[in-house]
């Protein structure tokens, strides 16, 4: 009996197995870029790289053939907006208390489980856009070095914002409680030169990407959700400094005014965008700015409010305001042809549910094949990894996943990932979900 069969029978799908070469077979395949699926699906993997795809690909001698049956092979999914360092629960007050009481090593250990769940859901690469105490850097490095199981990570260190803004984690608490005012070491900066210094600080301590808060946010205590929080000069300096140092940028921006400032500054992506107006959307189309709408975040908060979850009144009001417009804004951006990538804001919702975002986008009018592109070729381009990830083609890193059936016929099949390969290593193979014998 071959080891892959034994893996499925024993239920050891979350263990990692590296061998090969492999021939992965399924009824169909999505290459990450095309407008239709390929039938049948076949991917040849040798020493962690894709050697060939399609029925005509040469099969290496002695290759292990893994037939996944009535399933679809896809590139490993990407999530361009995560926070693997933490996770919200149904108890806001307990979460707030835990943030002060739990020692940093315990928080880091919690994060390893969030990372594992994300990988098992088929998300082999994530952009982590804001952490604390360098947990994101440590998590990225430990995953990279094979010490723990998780997705490949691009990290931001601190989100950078203004005093009292959405990126100022101490806003809304008593003056003096934390000993001194927040500064660059916590991601708080004011003025163009301070923005440059904050970018340099983050990169010095391990940032792959620079994230900023251009407007207020839903879950912060001391700001309005749609107000601009950085001047044009501040955003110009931040983006210029990051790009000069060859780092991409992302802007949290619910409100249109702050988003437009970020777009004009050359930001690479707008996150959330609940209140984007026609001018902002047109600017994004003209500049090629990628929109990460994170539909899951307001959807999940809305679900929790319906279940009676407590949130401070000021947060509830902002959440309901964003919920009232985000779907219409998404449909308007979709109609205008704005480039849309997939990001979930996971941490707001539980880690491992990331694929729910596909269904939310399709439910608002996006074609299923286009939704699949958001988490593959579109996100790969945004993250700057398209030369090695995001599509199934020869020479790319072997990040390959499988879902049962046809996700273009039922997008919710993306929520049922049963096979996960990252870097040519199999981390999950639960054949019982594939319908294969």
Which of the four pLDDT bands, split at 50, 70 and 90, describes residue 103?
very high
The whole-chain average pLDDT of the chain stands at 93
12 pLDDT higher than 70: no
Together in a domain, 260 and 401: no
Strand order in the sheet with 123-128: 77-82, 123-128, 152-155
pLDDT for position 432: 52
Q: What CATH number is associated with residue 309? A: 3.20.20.140
| Residue that is last in its domain, among 366, 383, 400 | 383
- What's the pLDDT score for residue 6? 40
Among residues 346, 362, 383, which one ends one of the domains?
A: 383
Distance in angstroms (rounded) separating the CA atoms of residues 73 and 71: 7
Query: Which pair of structure tokens corresponds to residue 418?
Result: 């049963």
- What are the strands of the beta sheet with 425-429, ordered from one edge? 28-29, 71-75, 400-404, 419-422, 425-429
- Whether residues 63 and 131 fall in one domain: no
Same domain, 267 and 398: no
| Residues 313 and 348 occupy one common structural domain | yes
User: Residue 176: what pLDDT?
Assistant: 83
User: Are residue 250 and residue 316 in the same domain, yes or no?
Assistant: yes
pLDDT tier for residue 173 given thresholds of 50, 70 and 90: confident
Q: Are residues 240 and 267 in the same domain?
A: yes
Instruction: Check whether residue 102 and residue 48 sit in a common domain.
Output: no
The helix (H) or strand (E) run that includes residue 373 is helix 368-373
pLDDT digits over 335-344, tens only? 999 999 999 9
Instruction: Tell whether the model's pLDDT for residue 7 goes beyond 80.
Output: no
Q: Residue 210 above 80 pLDDT?
A: yes
Strand partners, 52: 44
The answer to whether 240 and 234 have CB atoms below 8 angstroms apart is no
| Bridge partner residues of 43 (DSSP) | 24, 53
Q: pLDDT (tens digit, 9 = 90+) per residue, 105-122? A: 999 999 999 999 999 999
What pLDDT is recorded for position 181? Answer: 84
CA 376/CA 390 separation, integer angstroms: 4
Instruction: Name residue, tokens 């919690």.
Output: 110
Among 368, 383, 398, the domain-final residue is: 383
Q: CA dist 83 to 183, 241, 312, 348, Å?
A: 21, 24, 21, 9
Residues 228, 355 share a domain: yes
121, 125, 126, 127: CA torsion to nearest 10: -170
Angle of CA points 190, 194, 197, to nearest 5°: 150
pLDDT at 100: 87
What percent of the chain is predicted at pLDDT more than 90? 86
Mean pLDDT of 284-297: 98
- Domain residues for 65? 3-76+390-433
75/93 Cα distance (integer angstroms) = 39
Please check whether residue 398 is in contact with residue 49, taking contact to mean a CB–CB distance below 8 angstroms.
yes
Q: Do residues 299 and 171 both lie within one domain? A: yes
Residue 157 has pLDDT above 50, yes or no: yes
- Position 411 pLDDT exceeds 50: yes
Q: What is the pLDDT of residue 170?
A: 84
Q: Is the pLDDT of residue 20 over 90?
A: no
Q: Is the peptide bond before 21 cis (omega within 30 degrees of 0)?
A: yes
Confidence class for position 214, pLDDT limits 50, 70, 90? very high
* pLDDT for residue 18: 66
Residue 83 pLDDT > 90, yes or no?
yes
Question: 352 with 397, same domain?
Answer: no
82: pLDDT strictly greater than 60: yes
Q: How many CB atoms lie within 10 A of CB 14?
A: 15
* pLDDT higher than threshold 70 for residue 15: no
| pLDDT surpasses 60 at 436 | no
Confidence of residue 19 (pLDDT cuts 50, 70, 90): low
Report phi then psi at 359, rounded to 5.
-65, -35
Based on the domain organization, do 118 and 263 belong to the same domain?
Answer: yes
CATH of the domain at 24: 2.30.40.10
Judge whether residue 353 has pLDDT over 80.
yes
Q: At what angle do helices 278-287 and 256-265 cross, to 10 degrees?
A: 20
Q: Which two tokens stand for residue 39?
A: 């039938």
Regarding whether 97 and 70 lie in a shared domain, the answer is no
By the 8 A CB rule, do 129 and 83 touch? Answer: yes
- Domains contained in the chain, number: 2
Q: Is the preceding omega at residue 40 within 30 degrees of 0, hence cis?
A: yes
pLDDT band at 294 (very low <50, low <70, confident <90, very high): very high
């Amino acid at each position: 009996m071959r080891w892959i069969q034994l893996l499925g029978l024993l239920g050891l799908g979350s263990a990692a197995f590296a061998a090969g070469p492999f021939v992965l077979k399924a009824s169909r395949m999505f290459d990450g870029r095309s407008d239709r699926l390929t039938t049948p699906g076949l991917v040849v993997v040798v020493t962690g790289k894709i050697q060939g795809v399609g029925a005509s690909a040469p099969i290496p001698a002695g290759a292990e053939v893994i037939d996944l049956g009535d399933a679809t092979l896809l590139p490993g999914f990407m999530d361009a907006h995560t926070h693997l360092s933490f996770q919200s629960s149904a108890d806001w007050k307990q979460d707030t208390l835990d943030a002060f009481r739990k020692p940093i090593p315990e928080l880091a250990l919690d994060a390893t489980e969030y990372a594992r769940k994300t990988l098992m859901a088929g998300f082999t690469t994530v952009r982590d856009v804001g952490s604390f105490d360098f947990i994101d850097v440590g998590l990225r490095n430990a995953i990279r070095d094979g010490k723990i199981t998780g997705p490949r990570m691009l990290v931001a260190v601190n989100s950078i914002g203004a005093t009292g803004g959405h990126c100022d984690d101490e806003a809304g608490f008593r003056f003096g409680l934390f000993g001194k005012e927040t500064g660059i070491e916590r991601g708080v900066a004011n003025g163009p030169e301070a923005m440059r210094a904050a970018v340099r600080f983050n990169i010095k301590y391990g940032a792959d990407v620079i994230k900023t808060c251009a407007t207020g946010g839903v879950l912060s205590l001391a700001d309005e959700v749609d107000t601009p929080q950085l001047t044009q000069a501040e955003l110009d300096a931040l983006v210029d400094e990051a790009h000069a140092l060859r780092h991409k940028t992302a802007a949290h921006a619910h409100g249109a005014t702050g988003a437009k400032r970020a777009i004009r500054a050359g930001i690479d992506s707008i996150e959330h965008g609940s209140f984007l107006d026609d001018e902002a959307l047109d600017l994004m189309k003209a500049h090629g700015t990628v929109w990460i709408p994170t539909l899951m975040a307001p959807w999940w908060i809305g679900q929790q409010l319906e279940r009676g979850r407590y949130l401070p009144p000021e947060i509830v009001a902002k959440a309901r305001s964003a919920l009232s417009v985000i779907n219409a804004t998404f449909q308007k951006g979709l109609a205008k042809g704005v480039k849309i990538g997939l990001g979930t804001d996971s941490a707001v919702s539980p880690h491992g549910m990331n694929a729910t975002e596909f269904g939310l986008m399709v439910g608002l009018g996006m074609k299923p094949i286009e939704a699949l592109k958001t988490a593959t070729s579109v996100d790969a381009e945004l993250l700057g990894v398209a030369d090695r990830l995001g599509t199934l083609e020869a020479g790319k890193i072997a990040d390959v996943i499988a879902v049962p059936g046809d996700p273009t016929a039922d997008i919710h099949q993306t929520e049922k990932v049963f096979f996960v390969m990252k870097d040519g290593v199999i981390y999950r193979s639960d054949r019982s979900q594939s319908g294969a014998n």
